[in-house]
Amino acid sequence: ELLDARFWGHHEVGEPPRPARLVLLGGLVAGVVLLLVGAGTGQSGAQLPLLLTLPPAAFALAALRALARRADRRHGRLPTAWLVGLGVFGPLAFTDPEEVTLLLSGSRDIPFWVAVTTGAGLLVALLLSAAYAVVLARPSARPPRRATAWTTAVVMLLTVGVGGVVAGQPGLHGERLFVVLREQADLTGLPAGAGKAGRDARAEEVYRRLVDTAERTQADLRRDLRRLRLDHTAYYLVNAIEVDGGPVARAWLSTRPEVAKVLVSQRLRPLPVPDGTTRGDASAPTGPPWNITMIGADRVWSELAATGAGVTVGSSDSGVDGGHPTLAPGFRGGDDSWFDPWNDTRTPTDRSGHGTHTAGSAVGRGGIGVAPGAQWVGCVNLDRNLGSPAAYLDCLQFMLAPFPPGGDPFAQGRPARAPEILTNSWGCPPIEGCDPRVLLPAVDALEAAGILVVAAAGNTGPYCRSIQDPPAPYPDVLTVGAVDERRRVTDFSSRGPTPSGVNKPDLVAPGADVLSAMPGGGYATLAGTSMATPQVAGVVALMWSANPDLVGDLDRTRRILRETATPIDAPTGSGNCGGTANVAGAGLVDAYAAVEAARD
């Protein structure tokens, strides 16, 4: 309706009309009109390909109009509709706006890519317009035949399709569904007991109940999935199944009486070539960095003789470089200390660097780790900083009951080998398929088993109510915000309260320019609540190393951490969020005071 005869009439001035003017000026105005329409079609990920296709389409429309005018034919709506339709809905059909937004924003911000795409689109459009003007200047130029038009349309569709399937990597691909069942395991009335032995007994019972519930309630659904040849993976930590399937399968699954909800569980498309490894360029520390001294961890080592020995920390992240000199000595080893469901590596590996950095802050030696005497186990739950409900659950389930490579989590889990503390510098937002409660049964089960879950608050501050992505908002999770070297809560540190009204974070720790390990033996300073979280996990390892009777006593441990924390004032203004409880929680974690209280 916008590009009708009246629109083109404004650019057909003169007798006879000048085709070059119509193409150049009319095409430019039409391109602006179409871009304004495209700007309202959805997220930035969908708009970016429109910036490439709509300006050239506008000049093509102008050329068609000029040809029709020369042949004295009526330029109807059909060619306009087809061309605009292909230009708009082609990219939308083969583009996942979520994947584009996530992947591009990981390196540069969206405005940067908008500028790049706009420039590329205008360049293509101007080249086309010049070609159209040259062709139209020939007196013999005639409108294309119908067969030519159809052939062009088919070629455009095939080009877009092949580009999306082959060259459109990396990105999220396929469609998998995360099916959560209504019945979750009853974990009340568990055996009591102090210390590691009591924790192990509870973990064994929790594992048994979870597996029994999943086996009983999933049996009919799994049988039907096998009959329909729908590939699937069963889980027990959350009673759920991940299923290959699209909209039809989702509609069918949603009607089943045993199903509570069906979520999209997205998967990363593989890269055409291996992703490069991120390496650090900072020098190794010559002594404890500022963050270690700020929380008093170095004094715990020297004065209280606690280093985390006897405690194991589990890291779920991008991986861990097991060969890094600060981390290699602390790897627990055995056939159940590493799990990589993404790439099936059999030894600790990390390309991103994020997981190596966080593990180093928790248990790294050489001064960078809070608990250098603790051991660690690792799991890969994201790749290129993207995950899904099932990917996060893969690692949480492994941490409750580790199993050997290629083993069956239902039958070969070893709860007695579970790490005592989990550090989690990740969150699962709706764009990755999670809803607010999807991982709550998993956290509840880990809590019941006596395994402490420490999680990053997120980096969406200073906005209030920005602690939203699981598992950070859950009441039983020890949620960690970030402070800088001057003990001020950083602007990026997410604030509470949570969507359910719980005050978060629980504590804050150093998270600005924290030095730690990177793949290949290097070091780097990174910032984020991701960097603060493993330091709190390390403090708990120091506490439990100093007093093994506290192992698995999560309520007492959390109480000691809060009571010994150093108060931090909330900022004034828009980032106050109702006071300190929703900005800094109980305050800055104090390793020395917490370990002293644990010993007493």
Q: Is 321 a catalytic residue?
A: no
Residue 593 lies in a domain: yes
pLDDT at 51 over 60: yes
Same-domain pairing of 161 and 184? no
3-state helix, strand, coil in the chain (%, to 5): 45, 15, 40
Report which DSSP code applies to 581: G
In tens, the pLDDT along 381-397 reads 988 788 899 999 999 99
Q: Which residues contact 376 (CB under 8 A, 6 or more apart)?
A: 312, 313, 314, 315, 320, 327, 330, 331, 332, 359, 362, 363, 419
Q: Look at the chain and report how many structural domains it folds into.
A: 3
Calculate mean pLDDT across residues 517-526.
Answer: 96
Q: Answer yes or no: is 502 within a domain.
A: yes
Residue 66 pLDDT more than 90?
Answer: no
Under a CB-based contact definition with an 8 Å cutoff, are residues 128 and 56 in contact?
Answer: yes
Would residue 356 count as lying in a domain?
Answer: yes
Residue 185 scores a pLDDT above 70 = yes
What's the pLDDT score for residue 14? 57
Check residue 75 and give its pLDDT: 47
Q: For residues 504 and 539, state if they share a domain.
A: yes
Question: Is the per-residue pLDDT at 205 higher than 70?
Answer: yes
Q: Is the pLDDT of residue 561 over 90?
A: yes
When pLDDT is averaged across residues 8-36 and rounded to a whole number, the result is 70
- Judge if 75 and 221 occupy the same domain: no
Residues 239 and 152 in one domain: no
Give 143's pLDDT tier (boundaries 50, 70, 90): low
| 8 Å CB contact between 2 and 79 | no
CB 294 within 8 A of CB 360: no
Q: Is 60 exceeded by the pLDDT of residue 144? A: no
In a domain, 275, yes or no: no
Residue 98 has pLDDT above 90, yes or no: no
pLDDT of 79 reads 55
Percentage of residues of the chain with pLDDT beyond 90: 62
Catalytic residue among 530, 545, 553, 590: 530
Give the strand order in the sheet containing 421-424. 338-339, 375-380, 312-317, 421-424, 452-456, 478-483, 507-510
Question: Which of residues 237, 269, 301 is at a domain's end?
Answer: 269
473 within a domain of the structure (yes/no)? yes
Highest mean pLDDT, choosing among 93-102, 427-436, 485-494? 485-494
Question: Highest mean pLDDT range out of 30-44, 130-144, 516-530?
Answer: 516-530
Both 364 and 503 in one domain: the answer is: yes
Query: Residue 539 sits in which domain range?
Result: 290-599
Q: Is the pLDDT of residue 564 over 80?
A: yes
Q: In what order do the strands lie in the sheet with 232-235?
A: 232-235, 240-244, 176-181, 259-264
Indicate the pLDDT class of residue 46, thresholds 50, 70 and 90.
low
Residue 281 forms part of a structural domain: no
Domain boundary among 169, 199, 219: 169
pLDDT of 76 > 60? The answer is no
**443 and 393 housed in the same domain:** yes
Q: Which listed residue (96, 317, 350, 553) is catalytic? A: 317
The verdict on 164 and 198 lying in the same domain is no
Q: Are residues 306 and 445 in the same domain?
A: yes
Work out the average pLDDT over 42-60: 69
The pLDDT assigned to 410 comes to: 98
Mean pLDDT score of the chain, rounded to an integer? 86
Q: What is the pLDDT of residue 535?
A: 98
Q: What is the pLDDT of residue 170?
A: 46
pLDDT of residue 169: 47
> Known catalytic residue: 4?
no
Q: Which of 11, 75, 232, 354 is catalytic?
A: 354
279 falls within a domain:
no
More confident residue, 187 or 104: 187
HSE, side-chain direction, 13 A CA sphere, residue 5: 8
* CB count in 10 Å sphere of residue 346: 11
Whole-number pLDDT of residue 600: 87
Do 262 and 229 share a structural domain? Answer: yes
SS3 101: helix
Tell whether 98 and 191 lie within a shared domain.
no
Strand-pair category, 522-526 with 514-518 = antiparallel
pLDDT at 574 over 80: no
The answer on pLDDT for 11 being more than 80 is no
Same domain, 464 and 562: yes
- Last residue in a domain, options 121, 151, 169: 169
From CA 65, how far away is CA 193, in angstroms rounded? 83
At 471, the pLDDT band (50, 70, 90 cuts) reads very high
Phi/psi-derived region of residue 384, left when phi > 0, alpha when psi is between -120 and 50, beta in every other case: left
pLDDT band, residue 469 (cuts 50/70/90): very high
Q: Is the peptide bond before 56 cis (omega within 30 degrees of 0)?
A: no
Residue 210 lies in a domain: yes
Contact indicator for 493, 511 with CB cutoff of 8 Å: yes
CATH code at 509?
3.40.50.200
Tokens linked to 165: 């399937």
pLDDT of 353: 95
The pLDDT tens digits for 257-280 are 999 999 988 776 666 566 678 889
Catalytic residue flag (residue 549): no
- Model confidence over 308-364: pLDDT tens digits? 999 999 999 999 999 999 999 999 999 999 999 998 999 999 999 999 999 999 999
**How many Å apart are CA 409 and CA 234, to the nearest integer?**
9
Q: For the domain that residue 232 is a member of, what is the CATH number? A: 3.30.70
Query: Are residue 390 and residue 414 in the same domain, yes or no?
Result: yes
Q: Pick the closest to residue 354 from 459, 232, 272 (CA basis).
A: 459
